[in-house]
Structure 1
Amino acid sequence: MDSPSQSFDQLLADLAHPNPNIRDNACTLMAEHFADQALPQLISLLHDPDPAVYRTAVKGLGILGHQSVPHLLELFETSDNGTVKACCIKALVQVSVNFPTQAFPAQTMDVLEKALDEANPVVAQSALMTLGHLSKQDSEKERVIPLLIKACERDNIAHVQGALMALAELDAPLVTDCLEKLASDMGKDSLVREMAQASLERRESLNLG
């Protein structure tokens, strides 16, 4: 691997550059050439008030891969900042995108389940989107489906809708049972029943059981 033409400090400065291409390139070079130095710096940048900076840090942590996961889970558990918590969850997606066949540690699912109950809607929605993404990966599907099914029992209609949309495209008997029960449960909100029925119809169109 060739050495980068820029030093670590120069690349770190580029993470705040107004040009997104320069920011993304700096992320990649830091991860490839300075992983040990980059990890704590990128974790720290999740606290930056500039959205361009913390979003770039999320991408960089994704490029670093699973070595960043324990740090992301710890930060999620210890932070009381909703933006930082959401960044931790979004960074897990980026890790998954870059390393789709590598499974996450069990604690990851515990954190995602906690995140679904966060009062901050951005954190909760990020967790739901992350579960939806992971549900399409063979390495995570079996662990994620039960969490999506549990999400269907929550009071937040938007969360229920997101969970149902994700479940509609998953091939598993558990999913069919869940959707059929929701669609026929007269004790549920009519909107929930309608969404469950729509998800069943979506499954039928995809020939899923």
Structure 2
Amino acid sequence: MSDALPSFDSLVQDLKHPNPNIRDEACILLAEHWPDQAVPYFFSELHDPDPVVYRTAVKALGTLGQRTLPDLLKLFQSSGNGTVRACCVKAIVQISVNFPNATFPADILSMLEQALDDASPVVAQSALMTLGYLSKHDSEKDRVIPLLIQACNRTNIAHVQGSAMALAEIDSPLVSAFLEKLALDDTKDPLIREVAQSSLERRASLNLK
């Protein structure tokens, strides 16, 4: 790109460039210089069937920060498309990546909790991934731990494994107490108890209490 600020339309074209570095630069410039036009454009791109397009839009929404949260919440609640709902969830991670000190409002945590029970496995797994990422931030850890524990109490082995793996790396006595109880619970599926035990061993290897 030249030193002159590219136009909105030229940056939109750069979003389709095969070079991811050029796409990333376009996302940043759009967020910095054309935010009012960029927000609705990126939201429209979430509906594109091309994975490269909607993944770029998710990343771009992350550069715009918390101003996108009301629309992400609204779209998540209204869309019948599992891929679109998953994009809304993944955008939360991207916002956190770009604004690591940001604290999310309660309705976004409620959205992630709701996503754990989504009919689409992709949405549910995206929610687990997002909660796992947020759990590494001191500003969110105390609010995320109960949601991950809640996910561990489900019967879906994949959910239990994903949430237990996230919990395994959180430094909290509450987590240790929960995993120890789960590992010894005779009423639980043996696979779930095994997952809990593996998470405890992971915690021990990290010297977490």
TM class by shorter chain equals: over 0.9
Letter in 1 for 2:75: L
Residues in 1 aligned to 2:74 and 2:4: alpha-carbon distance in whole angstroms: 31
Structure 2 residue aligned with 1:37: 37
**Paired residue total:** 208
1:18 offset after TM fit, Å? Answer: 3.1
Structure 2 residue aligned with 1:134: 134
Residues in 1 aligned to 2:38 and 2:188: alpha-carbon distance in whole angstroms: 49
Letter in 2 for 1:136: K
Residues in 2 aligned to 1:27 and 1:169: alpha-carbon distance in whole angstroms: 32
TM-score normalized by structure 2?
Answer: 0.95
Q: Does 1:65 align with 2:71?
A: no
3-state secondary structure, aligned to 1:27 = helix
| Conservation of the 8 A alpha-carbon contact between 1:11 and 1:30 | yes
> What are the residue-to-residue correspondences of 1:144-155 with 2, within 5 Å?
144-155=144-155
**What RMSD in Å do the two structures reach over aligned CA positions?**
1.4
Alignment deviations for residues 75-132 of structure 1 (CA, whole Å, 9 cap, x no partner): 1011110010010111110000111111001001110011000111110000000000
1:17 offset after TM fit, Å? Answer: 2.7
Q: Percent identity?
A: 68
Residues in 2 aligned to 1:170 and 1:50: alpha-carbon distance in whole angstroms: 35
Is the alpha carbon distance of 1:4 and 1:76 closer, same or farther for their aligned partners in structure 2, counting shifts above 3 Å? farther
Residues in 2 aligned to 1:22 and 1:197: alpha-carbon distance in whole angstroms: 45
Alignment deviations for residues 123-165 of structure 1 (CA, whole Å, 9 cap, x no partner): 0000000000000001110100000000001111011001000
Residues in 2 aligned to 1:208 and 1:167: alpha-carbon distance in whole angstroms: 11
Residues in 2 aligned to 1:22 and 1:172: alpha-carbon distance in whole angstroms: 41
Structure 1 residue aligned with 2:177: 177
> What are the residue-to-residue correspondences of 1:95-174 with 2, within 5 Å?
95-174=95-174
Letter in 2 for 1:29: L
TM-score normalized by structure 1?
Answer: 0.95
Structure 2 residue aligned with 1:16: 16
3-state secondary structure, aligned to 1:109 = helix
Residues in 2 aligned to 1:197 and 1:150: alpha-carbon distance in whole angstroms: 17
Give 5+ residue unaligned stretches, structure 2: none
